[in-house]
Structures are given as structure tokens and as C-alpha cells.
Amino acid sequence: IDIKNIRNFSIIAHIDHGKSTLADRLIEKTGSLDKRQMKDQVLDNLEVERRHGITVKAQAVRMEYLYDGVLYELNMIDTPGHADFTYEVSKSLSACEGALLVVDATQGVEAQTVANLYLALENNLEIIPVINKIDLPTADIEKTKSEIENLGLDASGAILISAKNDIGTDKVLEAIIKYIPPPKINNEETLKALIIDSWYDNYKGVVCLVRVFEGEIKIHDRIMIFSNKKEYNVESISVLTPKPKEIETLHAGEVGILISNIKNIDDVLVGDTITLASNPAKAALKGFKKIKPFVYAGIYPTDTEKYDDLKEGLEKLKLNDSSLEFEPEKSDSLGFGFRCGFLGMLHMNITKERLEEEFGLDIVVTNPSVLYKVEKTDGSIIEISNPKDLPEPQFIRSILEPYVSIDVITPSEYIGSVLNLLQEKRGYQKNLSYLSANRCLITYSAPLSETITNFYDTLKSITRGYASFNYEFEGYKPSDLVKMIILINNEPIDSFSQIVHKDKAYAQAREVLAKLKEFVPRQLFEIRLQAKVGGKIIAKEEIKALRKDVLAKCYGGDITRKRKLLEKQKEGKKKLKQLGKVAISKEAFMKLLEPT
Ligand code: GDP
Ligand code: MG
């Protein structure tokens, strides 16, 4: 097909604004599937996606469309659009020349609309505003248009549609052809293809979704990965129509899937460049970086004997998830486990769920922490995520923590409460603007650590569910941080240590101690709970001893009953977690680890 008849585009939208429904209509309209094969949310239901869950982040469908007597090839590249995967979304967008910005006319512009729009603009995409759900009585087209305009985009020509009722969708196809430019290529160049996504397939090995920018890839070509110089033979090339279809060649400007006997996904990371081994490109495509985890937590098996099973589970997940990191770690209270690194809280929760569901593991996840940079008095800089690795105060010159830029969109009546919340999270305001008379966009800079624990829930509850938010990594800044240690009868309990801001240490200490008091069962001895910062006790509590006579009942009685009791106790012990001299149940322990 002639290059000038190719269009590569993406649909970007806030969740639930109708991206999948519109994608279905486009697939249907272009006759890519017949009525019988058409079921709802084709893109979401593609076999690969179902098998790999969230780890397949991008997918592409090739459609053919006859317009004005000319046949066009339309490549629709789909991305998830969650804040944890900003880098991947940005890379998928960079594989396109244009994007449809879908906004729900009953909701208006939301945080993800803004975030995705900015990513698309950064990648120089042609943006076509599409206003969806105009069939609904609460649709407010004019307001939605003006909200889009307030983001700096011309919305006068926005396409009005109902993806669900198939109204206006022909106009969407027409706009893709008319307004999105064809790929620009330089025919003289050797192969340069962008890795949009890669994933592990049990049958085929590592699979790469690529966009060819220059040159072409043919079956049996010997390719080379730019950053690590590794070479592979191309074994198959295919496109999804959305049924998989094998092809011989992927030309400049096109998108497709490569299988090349690659064993390890870490060798083909998102954003890297594929070139030809025999005639390599001189420079890589711009913007490749290896993304590092932002959030860390310990994962431990509840039953210490399941350590190897946990290790196997993590290794299997890692096969298909290059951003997941883990290394062995030992905790006094939890035994052997792993320190794991994640891109964000969603990534962490998905990993936890998969370990439980797919591998049947019973696990404990410790309080998540960010990655701190510690500048020591000897001038060296170390990175730590575990409070126990923090050097003694006299060796620390400064501690830096990651900051994020947060965009919140909220109805204006809640501005006060939202600003209060952001202030409480140690944030500072960067911008506040009105999208329309009663909705505004607030931009704050705040420490990532303050937003990973229950920020979202609180935001939702103070705005009755109406606010949306998005965050983006900003950089490291120094903060007045200290290590808070929790002691039970003078013994420090490592899994409760935390790095906290100096001004928040006292309140945090009170909260942790109150929780311990609630969940640690009374013992035969008195339990003293203390929180310490820099050698000073900043808060304390005590749990009174049980009266001795409570146990008296257990003495005496016949021998078999006693043995039964002993056996029961032994069984119970396995599930108990040791907090110094105090043993508590797994359930209580989990409650204690829940973020405060
Ligand atoms: P996505 O999260 O952006 O992929 O959104 P979906 O395509 O899954 O749509 C979210 C919900 O909105 C679904 O229940 C759709 O049926 C519904 N929806 C999508 N488009 C329309 C529309 O044009 N009109 C109405 N009334 N509902 C729609
Ligand atoms: Mg969807």
C-alpha cells in the first residue's frame, strides 16, 4: 500500500469515556470482523490481552477502509492510560501521527484526559477532539467544548458522536483520513523500528509490537537491538486485523508484531530501537530509557516454608514484566522474603493479586516506601527504600525524596477541601485554573510518599467521587526526613520502622501505637509500646497484662485433652508472627501493616 494512504492513530480518553466502544465501532465499520465475530470490546478481549492481563500494555489493530475510491490502511494503537505506565503510553503515542481525544459529554474533561492530551502534544500528534455519549439527556456539548478549549485545543470542529448508538462514527473515520498526516519516511535509511511493547508468550517466546520508522523488516532478516547489540532472526511477522494474520514484510510507517526467538523481555525493552545486524542504523530513535521502580515493598510468605514458591512466582511474573524488580530480604518479624520494586501502587496491587490468585500464595506485603537518595557526610550518595538501611543520623548530610506533579480536576465547590488535603500531603500549589464555571484544574507538587497511601481514597471521599487525578514524576528534592522506630518491650520491630517527615513523626507515631494497642492481644506480661526518633522516645502506650487466673482453667483435666490442646497450639503457632516476645495472628499482623 502507498505510504500516503497509511494512518497511525491512537484513541486517548479518561476511563469510561468510551474508548473501547469507539474502537469496536471502527473495527465494525471497516469490516475487519463480520457481524458474527463481532463481540463487545474486541480490543480488550484480544486473546493475548486476556492471557497476560495488564502486562500487555499496548496492542495494535490494522484495518482497511475504502474512502472516496481509495483504500487506506488504518493502524489503531491502543494503550491503557494509567498513571503508573506513563512512559509506555508515551512510547505508544510516539508510534502514531495522530490521536482521537474522546471526552464524555456528560462528564467533561477529566484528569486522564489532560494527562493523555499533554503526552500526545509532547509527541507532536495531530489531535482530533471527539465528544461522545451525545445520546444521553445529561450530555452538555457546549460545556464540554469549552472545557477542551480551556486546555488550549481548538474544539470548534469537535466530532459529536454516540459510540454506543453508532452516531457520527463515519465522521471519525473521515477525520482520521483527512486530518491525520501519513507517516513521514526517508527511503534512503536503513531499518529503524521502535519497540512499542514486548511480552512473553508461553508458546512463542518473547513477542514485540513494533513501529517501523525507516527501512523495512522482512521475515528471516537478522535484526539487532540497538542498546545491547543482541542479534536475532525474524521468524514471523504478523498483524492483528484483529484476527492474527501472518505477513512477509513490515514497511516504513507500519505497525506489526515480531517473533524472533527472543528469550528474555529485558533484552527488548519498550522504547528501544530495532535495526538490521548487517547494516545497523547510526543512531537510535530518541527517548529510550530503562524505567526504574518508584515504589518498594517487602513481600513475605505467611508460611515461612513457602519461600521457594514465592520466589518461583516472582520469577514467572518477571518473565513478562520487565519493570518488576525483586531481591531477597530478611526481616526479624517476617523471616525470609523479597524486597520488590514497582512502577506505582496499581502495579504493586496487581502483582500482589497475581501472586495470590495465579500462584495460590498466601503473602504479607509490608508498608510501601519510595526510593530515597541519601547524601552521606563522606560525600557519597546511596539509594534506599527500606528504613532499616538508613544510616545513623550523624552520617547523613541530607535526604532527598521523589516529588510528583499532581493534577486534580474537581467541581469548584470542593476546591477548599482538595487544597487542604494537598497541603496536608506536604504539597505546594503550582497552578489553579477554571475549565468551566464550576470545574477547575489544580496542579500541585508533592512528595510521592504522601500520595501512595490512601491519597486517592481520601480525594474521592472529600469530593463525593467527583474528582479525578493524575500524577507524573517530577524529580528529587531534599526533605527533613527522619527514621521512626517502633519498639515492643524495648525490642525494635523492623517491619514497623518508617521514614517520615519530621513534622509528621509525632502524629504518625500516635497512629501506629494506637493500632498496635488495638490489635496486639493482651499477654501474661505487660507490653510497653514506644516510638523513637533519633534516640528520643516521642510516644508511648502500654497494654496491661492478663490476670493469671484466666489461665488457671487450663491446668488439670485428663491427659488426652491436654495433648489435643498442645497440638492445636502447635498448629496455630505456625501462622503466628513474632513481634519480639509477643506472638500475634497473621490477620492482626496484616491489619498492623495496612498503611496509616
Ligand atoms: P473506556 O473505559 O474508555 O474504554 O470506556 P468504554 O468504551 O468501556 O465505555 C464505558 C461505558 O460507557 C460502557 O458502559 C459503554 O457502554 C458506555 N458508552 C460508551 N459510549 C457510549 C455512548 O455513546 N453512549 C452511551 N449512552 N454510553 C456509552
Ligand atoms: Mg476500555
DSSP string, 378-429: TS-EEEE-SGGGPPPGGGEEEEEEEEEEEEEEEEGGGHHHHHHHHHHTT-EE
Mutational test site, ligand 1, from 21, 89, 133, 165, max ligand atoms within 8 Å of CB = 21
Ligand 2 centroid to residue 11 C-alpha, Å? 10
Atom of ligand 1 minimally distant from the CA of 23: 7
The answer on pLDDT for 595 being more than 80 is no
Residue whose cell numbers read 498492623: 592
Atom of ligand 1 minimally distant from the CA of 102: 3
Extract the annotated binding site: 16-21, 132-135
Judge whether 294 and 343 are in contact, CB under 8 Å: yes
Asked if residue 164 has its Cβ within 6 Å of ligand 1, the reply is: yes
Judge whether 383 and 292 are in contact, CB under 8 Å: no
Q: Identify the helix (H) or strand (E) that includes residue 353.
A: helix 345-357
Please tell me the number of the ligand nearest to residue 23's CA: 1
Cell of 406: 499532581
Please tell me the number of the ligand nearest to residue 132's CA: 1
The CA-CA-CA angle for residues 452, 457, 460, to 5°, reads: 130
Judge whether 299 and 364 are in contact, CB under 8 Å: yes
Burial of 154 (0-12, 13-18, 19+ CB in 10 A): exposed
Cell of 467: 474528582
**DSSP category for residue 180:** S
Q: Using CA atoms, how far apart are residues 315 and 82, in angstroms rounded to an integer?
A: 24
Asked if residue 16 has its Cβ within 6 Å of ligand 1, the reply is: yes
Cell of 9: 492513530
Q: Using CA atoms, how far apart are residues 388 and 542, in angstroms rounded to an integer?
A: 25
Judge whether 209 and 255 are in contact, CB under 8 Å: yes
Interval 250-277 mean pLDDT: 94
Please tell me the number of the ligand nearest to residue 19's CA: 1
Model confidence at 1, pLDDT cuts 50, 70, 90, reads confident
Extract the annotated binding site for GTP: 16-21, 132-135
Model confidence at 200, pLDDT cuts 50, 70, 90, reads confident
pLDDT tens, position by position, 380-398:
999 999 888 999 889 999 9
Interval 209-220 mean pLDDT: 95
Model confidence at 242, pLDDT cuts 50, 70, 90, reads confident
Judge whether 418 and 410 are in contact, CB under 8 Å: yes
Q: Beta-carbon neighbour count of residue 53 at 10 Å?
A: 13
The answer on pLDDT for 68 being more than 80 is yes
Judge whether 91 and 272 are in contact, CB under 8 Å: no
SS3 285: coil
Asked if residue 145 has its Cβ within 6 Å of ligand 1, the reply is: no
Q: Using CA atoms, how far apart are residues 191 and 210, in angstroms rounded to an integer?
A: 12
Q: Beta-carbon neighbour count of residue 355 at 10 Å?
A: 23
Asked if residue 15 has its Cβ within 6 Å of ligand 1, the reply is: yes
Judge whether 143 and 108 are in contact, CB under 8 Å: yes
Atom of ligand 1 minimally distant from the CA of 162: 23
Q: Using CA atoms, how far apart are residues 90 and 96, in angstroms rounded to an integer?
A: 10
Q: Using CA atoms, how far apart are residues 465 and 410, in angstroms rounded to an integer?
A: 9
Q: Using CA atoms, how far apart are residues 436 and 188, in angstroms rounded to an integer?
A: 50
Model confidence at 548, pLDDT cuts 50, 70, 90, reads low
Judge whether 404 and 445 are in contact, CB under 8 Å: yes
Asked if residue 21 has its Cβ within 6 Å of ligand 1, the reply is: yes
Model confidence at 78, pLDDT cuts 50, 70, 90, reads confident
Cell of 258: 515480531
pTM: 0.85
Round the average pLDDT of the chain to a whole number and report it: 88
The answer on pLDDT for 112 being more than 50 is yes
> Residue whose CA is closest, atom 19 of ligand 1?
18
**SS3 letters for 288-314?**
CCCCCCCEEEEEEECCHHHHHHHHHHH
**SS3 letters for 20-58?**
HHHHHHHHHHCCCCCCCCCCCCHHHHCHHHHHHHHHCCC
Q: Using CA atoms, how far apart are residues 372 and 501, in angstroms rounded to an integer?
A: 12
Cell of 573: 503457632
Q: Please name the residues in contact with 123: beta carbons below 8 A apart, sequence gap of 6 or more.
A: 90, 93, 94, 96
Residue 558 confidence (pLDDT): 59
**DSSP category for residue 574:** H
The answer on pLDDT for 519 being more than 90 is no
Residue 466 pairs in a beta bridge with none
Atom of ligand 1 minimally distant from the CA of 13: 3
Q: Beta-carbon neighbour count of residue 146 at 10 Å?
A: 16
**Residues within 5 Å of ion ligand 2 by Cβ?**
19-20
Asked if residue 18 has its Cβ within 6 Å of ligand 1, the reply is: yes
Question: pLDDT exceeding 70 applies to what percent of the chain?
Answer: 89
Q: Using CA atoms, how far apart are residues 81 and 58, in angstroms rounded to an integer?
A: 10
Judge whether 149 and 101 are in contact, CB under 8 Å: no
Q: Using CA atoms, how far apart are residues 488 and 261, in angstroms rounded to an integer?
A: 54
The torsion of the CA quartet 490, 494, 496, 502, rounded to 10 degrees, works out to: 80
Asked if residue 163 has its Cβ within 6 Å of ligand 1, the reply is: yes
Asked if residue 17 has its Cβ within 6 Å of ligand 1, the reply is: yes
Q: Using CA atoms, how far apart are residues 160 and 351, in angstroms rounded to an integer?
A: 39
pLDDT tens, position by position, 47-65:
444 444 555 567 889 999 9
pLDDT tens, position by position, 451-486:
987 888 899 999 999 999 999 899 999 999 999 999
Mutational test site, ligand 1, from 14, 16, 79, 138, max ligand atoms within 8 Å of CB = 16
Cell of 309: 514458591
Interval 341-347 mean pLDDT: 89
Range in 82-86, 199-203, 444-448 the model is least confident about: 82-86
